[in-house]
C-alpha cells in the first residue's frame, strides 16, 4: 500500500522534531500504523533558516496555503502556533477534507468548539494530544483509559517553562529572567514568553483537560489565570519550612455548584509525588471515582517529547483511515450532543486553603487583630510562624496557613487585614491544595 502523505505547517522546534522522529522511526511507525507515513510538503516562514531536521525530499514552500490545498496530502500537521493564521489554515484544511494533527493549545482552547463541529460535518479527525503536557499521553489516558470513571478533579503542572524557572530559582537561587532566557534558548518557551509566566499557556491546556474530564464545551474565557511572576524566593523558603512546595498548578474540579477552572501558584505538601516534579517535566494528577488518583508524568516541552505526541496522533489517524469513520473517539471524549452545561465557577465561589504572608509591626496585639479578622470570617488557622524583625527593621514577617474557606470570605478578610495600621503593604496570598485521595 502507498504511504500516507502528510504536510507540515511550521518547521521550528516541534516541526523539526516531528520530521526527525517520523524519519528516524519510519520503519517501526509503519509497522504500528499499518501504512508508511511520509512528510511530502512543508511550509516555513524562512526557507534559508538553519533547521534541526533534514528536509531533503520534502517540497518546501513559504506559503502554508499551498500545503493545505495540496490534493496529495491526507493529514495536515499544524505546528505554527498562535490562534489566528493557524485557525484560518485549519478551517481551510478541514474544508478540503484533510485530517488535522495539532500541538496548538491556544487554537483548541479558544476555537476548538467550532473546529470540532466543522470537522464533524466534514467527517475528518482533529487530533491534539501534543497540545497538553508535551509528550505525556494524558488526553488519551483521560479520554480513553479512564472512560469508565466519573472524573472528580485533576491538577497538573502543565507549563514546562514555568516549572523549570521555579525549580532553578529554588534549587540554585538563580534569577527569574536568567532562567527564562535559558528556557527560551532550549525551545521550551512560547513565542511570547508572557504566556508561560503569566499562566495563559497553562490555562489553555487546563481548559482542554477540563472539557475532556467533564464533558463540557471549551471555555477558556472563564478560566482564572495567575502566573508565577509574583512568587519570591522568601515565599519558596517559608513554604518549605512549613513542609510545602510551591508549584504552578492548573486545577479543575467538579462540585455541586459547578466546575472550578483555575491556574495559579499553589502550595502542595512536599510528600506528594507531584510536589517533586522538577525542571521542564510536567505531571497531571487525575482522580476518577473508580480508579482513584492516577498520575501521568513526562517531559512537558521540547522538540522530540512534543513530536512523540504529534506522531502518535498521526499514527492514530492513519489507523482509522481504514476503519469505521462513524465510530471514532469523540474530540472532547463525550459525544458532541451529550455535552453538559455545568457552569464554571468564578474565583470568589471557589473553596480552598491559603498561605498568607504579611509584614507586621512588632507590637503587642497585632497577631490578635489578624486572627480576630480571620475568625470573624469563619477562617480557621492551621499554622502560624513569625520571623523576628531584622536588626535594621521594626517589622516582623508573619506567615499563616489556613483551612479551606470560600475565596470571597478570604478576599474580605485580606482587605480588612491590609487596612490595619499595624500591617504594611499587601498581604501575599498563595492558594494551597492537599491533593489527597479524597
Ligand atoms: N511553552 C510550553 C511549556 C511549551 O513551557 O510548557 C509546551 O506546551
Whether 309 lines ligand 1, by a CB cut-off of 6 Å, is no
Q: Say what the pLDDT of residue 313 is.
A: 97
Same domain, 83 and 151: no
Between residues 393 and 35, which one has the greater pLDDT? 35
In a domain? residue 71: yes
Ligand 1 contacts CB of residue 135 (under 6 A): no
Q: Is 205 a catalytic residue?
A: yes
Please report, for the domain that includes residue 391, its CATH number. 3.30.70.260
> 121 and 193, same structural domain?
no
Does residue 17 have a pLDDT over 80? yes
d(CA 139, CA 132): 7
Taking the CA of residue 132 as reference, the ligand 1 atom at the shortest distance is 8
* Grid cell in block for residue 333: 471524549
Listed residues 338, 363, 396: the one ending a domain: 338
In the numeric block, the cell 474557606 is attached to 405
The atom number, within ligand 1, closest to the CA of 196 reads: 1
> Which residue owns the Cα nearest ligand 1 atom 7?
301
Q: What is the pLDDT of residue 26?
A: 95
**Do residues 47 and 127 share a domain?**
yes
Q: Which of 136, 159, 162 to mutate to test the pocket of ligand 1 (most atoms within 8 A of CB)?
A: 159
Q: Is 22 exposed, middle or buried (0-12, 13-18, 19+ CB in 10 A)?
A: buried
Distance 299 CA to ligand 1 centre (A): 10
Domain holding 51, by residue range, is 4-135+303-338
Between CA 259 and CA 253 the distance in angstroms is: 6
pLDDT digits (tens, 9 = 90+) for 153-188: 999 999 999 999 999 988 998 888 999 999 999 989
Q: Is the CB of 198 under 6 A from ligand 1?
A: no
Ligand 1, from 201, 209, 304: best to mutate by most atoms within 8 Å of Cβ?
A: 201
The finding on whether 196 has its CB within 6 A of some atom of ligand 1 is: yes
Q: Rg for the chain (alpha carbons), in Å?
A: 24
370 and 332: one domain? no
For ligand 1, whether the C-beta of 134 sits within 6 Å is yes
Span from the CA of 224 to the centroid of ligand 1 (angstroms): 19
Kindly tell me if the per-residue pLDDT of 389 is higher than 80. Answer: no
Structural contact between residues 370 and 358, judged by C-beta atoms closer than 8 angstroms = yes
- Say what percent of the chain tops pLDDT 70: 98
Round the average pLDDT of the chain to a whole number and report it.
Answer: 95
Residues 150 and 98 in one domain: no
The CB of 190 under 6 Å from ligand 1? The reply is yes
- Of the residues 98, 140, 205, 247, only one is catalytic, namely 205
CA distance 215 to 358: 41
Calculate how far, in angstroms, residue 72's C-alpha sits from the geometric centre of ligand 1: 32
* Co-location of 30 and 110 in the same domain: yes
The residue with greater pLDDT, 437 or 421, is 421
CATH number at residue 149: 3.30.360.10
Cα dist from 170 to 197, 263, 332, 434, whole Å: 16, 20, 37, 21
The pLDDT value given to residue 322: 67
pLDDT of residue 328: 76
Phi and psi torsions of 62, nearest 5°? -95, -5
**Domain membership flag for residue 404:** yes
How far separated are the first and last CA of the chain, in Å rounded?
51
> Domain with 319 in it: what CATH number?
3.40.50.720
Q: What is the pLDDT of residue 362?
A: 82
| Confidence grade of residue 79 (pLDDT, cut at 50, 70, 90) | very high
Per-residue model confidence (pLDDT) at position 281: 96
Is residue 145 over pLDDT 70? yes
Same domain as 230, residue 219: yes
pLDDT surpasses 90 at 196: yes
pLDDT at 324: 64
Q: Is the CB of 104 under 6 A from ligand 1?
A: no
Has residue 325 been placed in a domain? yes
> 7 burial class (0-12, 13-18, 19+ CB within 10 angstroms)?
buried
Domain match, 391 and 330 both = no
Q: What is the pLDDT of residues 220-263, one digit of tens each?
A: 999 999 999 999 888 998 999 999 999 999 999 999 999 999 99
pLDDT of residue 323: 66
**326 pLDDT more than 70:** no
User: Is residue 391 scored above 90 in pLDDT?
Assistant: no
In a domain, 123, yes or no: yes
Amino acid at each position: 500500500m502507498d504511504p500516507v502523505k502528510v504536510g507540515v505547517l511550521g518547521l521550528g522546534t516541534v516541526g523539526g522534531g516531528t520530521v526527525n522522529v517520523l524519519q528516524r522511526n519510519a520503519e517501526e511507525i509503519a509497522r504500528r500504523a499499518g501504512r508508511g507515513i511520509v512528510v511530502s510538503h512543508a511550509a516555513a516562514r524562512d526557507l534559508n533558516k538553519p533547521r534541526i531536521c533534514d528536509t531533503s525530499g520534502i517540497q518546501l514552500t513559504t506559503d502554508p496555503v499551498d500545503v493545505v490545498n495540496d490534493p496529495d496530502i491526507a493529514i495536515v500537521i499544524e505546528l505554527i502556533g498562535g490562534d489566528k493564521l493557524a485557525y484560518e489554515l485549519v478551517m481551510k484544511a478541514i474544508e478540503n477534507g484533510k485530517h488535522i494533527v495539532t500541538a496548538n493549545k491556544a487554537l483548541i482552547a479558544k476555537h476548538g468548539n467550532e473546529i470540532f463541529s466543522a470537522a464533524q460535518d466534514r467527517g475528518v479527525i482533529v487530533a491534539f494530544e501534543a497540545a497538553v503536557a508535551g509528550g505525556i499521553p494524558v488526553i488519551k489516558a483521560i479520554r480513553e483509559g479512564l472512560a469508565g470513571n466519573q472524573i472528580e478533579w485533576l491538577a497538573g503542572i502543565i507549563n514546562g517553562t514555568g516549572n523549570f524557572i521555579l525549580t532553578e530559582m529554588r534549587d540554585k537561587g538563580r534569577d527569574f529572567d536568567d532562567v527564562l532566557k535559558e528556557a527560551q534558548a532550549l525551545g521550551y518557551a512560547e513565542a511570547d514568553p508572557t504566556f508561560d509566566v503569566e499562566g495563559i499557556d497553562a490555562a489553555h491546556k487546563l481548559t482542554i483537560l477540563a472539557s475532556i474530564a467533564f464533558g463540557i464545551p471549551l471555555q477558556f474565557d472563564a478560566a482564572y489565570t495567575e502566573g508565577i511572576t509574583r512568587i519570591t524566593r522568601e515565599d519558596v523558603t517559608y513554604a518549605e519550612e512549613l513542609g510545602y512546595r510551591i508549584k504552578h498548578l492548573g486545577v479543575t474540579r467538579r462540585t455541586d455548584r459547578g466546575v472550578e477552572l483555575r491556574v495559579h501558584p499553589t502550595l502542595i505538601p512536599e510528600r506528594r509525588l507531584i510536589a517533586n516534579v522538577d525542571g521542564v517535566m510536567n505531571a497531571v494528577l487525575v482522580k476518577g471515582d473508580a480508579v482513584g488518583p492516577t498520575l501521568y508524568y513526562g517531559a512537558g516541552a521540547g522538540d522530540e517529547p512534543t513530536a512523540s505526541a504529534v506522531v502518535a496522533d498521526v499514527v492514530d489517524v492513519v489507523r482509522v483511515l481504514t476503519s469505521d469513520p462513524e465510530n471514532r473517539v469523540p474530540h472532547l471524549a463525550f459525544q458532541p450532543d451529550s455535552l453538559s452545561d455545568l457552569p464554571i465557577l468564578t474565583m470568589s465561589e471557589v473553596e480552598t486553603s491559603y498561605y498568607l504572608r504579611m509584614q507586621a509591626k512588632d507590637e503587642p496585639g497585632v497577631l490578635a487583630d489578624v486572627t480576630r479578622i480571620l475568625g470573624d470570617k469563619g477562617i480557621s488557622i492551621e499554622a502560624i510562624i513569625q520571623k523576628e524583625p531584622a536588626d535594621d527593621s521594626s517589622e516582623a514577617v508573619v506567615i499563616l496557613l489556613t483551612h479551606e474557606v470560600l475565596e470571597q470570605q478570604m478576599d474580605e478578610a485580606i482587605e480588612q487585614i491590609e487596612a490595619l495600621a499595624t500591617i504594611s503593604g499587601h498581604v501575599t496570598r498563595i492558594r494551597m491544595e492537599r491533593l489527597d485521595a479524597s
